[in-house]
Structure 1
Amino acid sequence: MTSASILAFAGLCMLLALAPGPDTFLVLRYSLARRRAGIAASVGSALGSLVWAGAVAFGLAAILENSAEAYRVIKIIGGLYLVYLGVSAFLASRKGGGMLESAPTQVRTGSSLVAGLISCLLNPKVGLFFLAVAPQFIPENSASVENTLLLGAIDAGVALVYLTAVAFLASWAVVWLRRPRVTKMLERTSAAVLGLLGVATVATSAGE
């Protein structure tokens, strides 16, 4: 691949990353409690992107393209997981034990990393993105596996940089965010967004 095609792909990944999605809200939520937790969620999401790129490179993601049922099942599972995260967050804020009010040690980086990883892995659109877009940037006479993995690494790197920036911005604003009214508003807003994303995913998948 040429430098121009790599830069073009990186630019496309950045444009897609700027569109708010489940990973962004997940990272934001963890970052409000602890910067490390937000960064860990970013790393988890980036790792998930690498896994999807590997699946595409070795042909596994073609199953999603050819099997509407497999795609639907993964979307529903992912939607239910988002609903679970949203409901859990909302209940925590009602009990007064929201993430902003929790001690830093109560928000483990390991659990936030796993949450970011699972959120990405249960989003089949990431796999289909590589399946549809990667061939546009890979020359016909090039080794597709290596180049697809390279594109996956670029996408993961872009996502990591963007989501880490979100984590830092959220943690820098934490003094203002710790105001009781602001805290509850953000806790419930992020919980509602995650829950609604999950419900919408399940609803659209069930109707397909």
Structure 2
Amino acid sequence: MTLASLAAFAGLCLILSLTPGPDTFLVLRIALNRPSAGIAAAAGSAVAAIGWAALVGVGLAAILEQSAQVFRWLKIAGGLYLLYLGISSFLKTRKAAKNGMAADGKEGSALRYSNLAGFGAGALSTLLNPKVGLFYLAVVPQFIPQGGDTMGTAMILGAVEAVIGFAYLAVVALVAYKAMGWLRRPKVSTGVERVSSGIIAALGAGVIASGASS
């Protein structure tokens, strides 16, 4: 694989990262109250991206591409998880508001993620995101030279995507926390939590509908 090919792949990864999706909204929501957990979610997403690259390397991704039924259920599973994230977050925000707790989680911390929980949420979001899987299924094989080290090349490409994705999401987490201090006022923060939760749930519902109709 040439440097030109690697640069072209990095450009595609940058475009993928800059396109708002479930991972972006998830990291934004988590980082609003705890930036370290948001960065952990970004790290989880990066590790999961390498996992997708590994699937391509061992040929499992090719099987998913050839089996429309398997990929359909993968899409539905991802949609259900996103829907769960959105609805559960909305319900927690509503409960916190009723109990009179501050939106920054200082009283009861119902809305705060630990670093480990953030990492797990980011990893699951990426693993179950069919758009990430489709990206690897459609794009990565084109950069693997015929007769070359398939597994090694796939892992290199996965590492490139993971680094770019992590860098972008980490910046999102830090900027969200630094630039939105005023949003952590109870009423405003509750509104942001509900809107972001609604977006995540809507994305999940869209994925489920797409999978069910395919």
Instruction: Please indicate, yes or no, whether the TM-score normalized by the shorter chain is above 0.5.
Output: yes
Judge conservation of contact 2:103–2:190 (CA < 8 Å) in 1: no
Q: TM-score, normalised by structure 2?
A: 0.91
For 1:56-205, what aligned pairs fall within 5 Å after superposition? 56-96=56-96, 100-103=103-106, 106-205=112-211
Specify every segment of 5 or more residues in structure 1 that has no aligned partner in the other structure, as ranges. Answer: none
User: Number of residues paired by the alignment?
Assistant: 208
Q: TM-score, normalised by structure 1?
A: 0.93
Give the letter for the 1:206 counterpart. Answer: A
Q: Distance in 1 between matches of 2:130 and 2:210?
A: 14
When residues 100 and 66 of structure 1 are mapped into structure 2, their CA distance, relative to the original with a 3 A threshold, is: same
Q: Distance in 1 between matches of 2:187 and 2:21?
A: 25
Judge conservation of contact 1:56–1:127 (CA < 8 Å) in 2: no
Q: Distance in 1 between matches of 2:166 and 2:213?
A: 33
Specify every segment of 5 or more residues in structure 2 that has no aligned partner in the other structure, as ranges. Answer: none
* 2:10 is aligned with 1:7: no
Deviates more, 1:173-182 or 1:69-78: 173-182
Deviation of 1:168 after TM superposition, in Å, equals 0.6
When residues 100 and 40 of structure 1 are mapped into structure 2, their CA distance, relative to the original with a 3 A threshold, is: farther
Deviates more, 1:179-188 or 1:145-154: 179-188
* 2:36 is aligned with 1:30: no
Q: Secondary structure at the match of 1:102?
A: coil
Deviation of 1:64 after TM superposition, in Å, equals 1.3
Judge conservation of contact 2:103–2:186 (CA < 8 Å) in 1: no
Q: Distance in 2 between matches of 1:128 and 1:56?
A: 11
Give the letter for the 1:83 counterpart. Answer: L
Q: Secondary structure at the match of 2:145?
A: coil
